[in-house]
Amino acid sequence: MSISVPKFTSKTGVRFVKLLHKENTIEANLDALGSFVWVTINGELTVKDVLDRVKEKFPAEENIDQRLFLFLQQMRALHYLTY
């Protein structure tokens, strides 16, 4: 799965991209875990709720809790999601 995310959110950045006639989005490719988490998060579930669903979906994965937390931190650092 891939998601489209904006390159720039500031007015200056958006204007710059328009001036260059370029797209203001990039495609971020997600692996199976990232794709599942992306469609699972909805603003209402807690991280524990998401972790429980991830553990249910990927029971054989090792260190799944660490992978989830790393994924969420990366998405937040890239401003793809907020919490």
The residue with tokens 């203001």 is 24
pLDDT at 42: 85
pTM (2 d.p.):
0.72
Helix (H, G, I), strand (E, B) or coil at 43: coil
pLDDT at 53: 96
Distance between CA 36 and CA 57 in Å, rounded? 9
Q: What is the pLDDT along the chain (83 residues), one digit of tens a residue?
A: 777 777 777 888 888 888 889 887 878 788 999 999 999 998 899 999 999 999 999 999 999 999 999 999 988 888 788 77
Domain boundaries, the chain: 1-29, 31-83
Distance between CA 10 and CA 1 in Å, rounded? 27
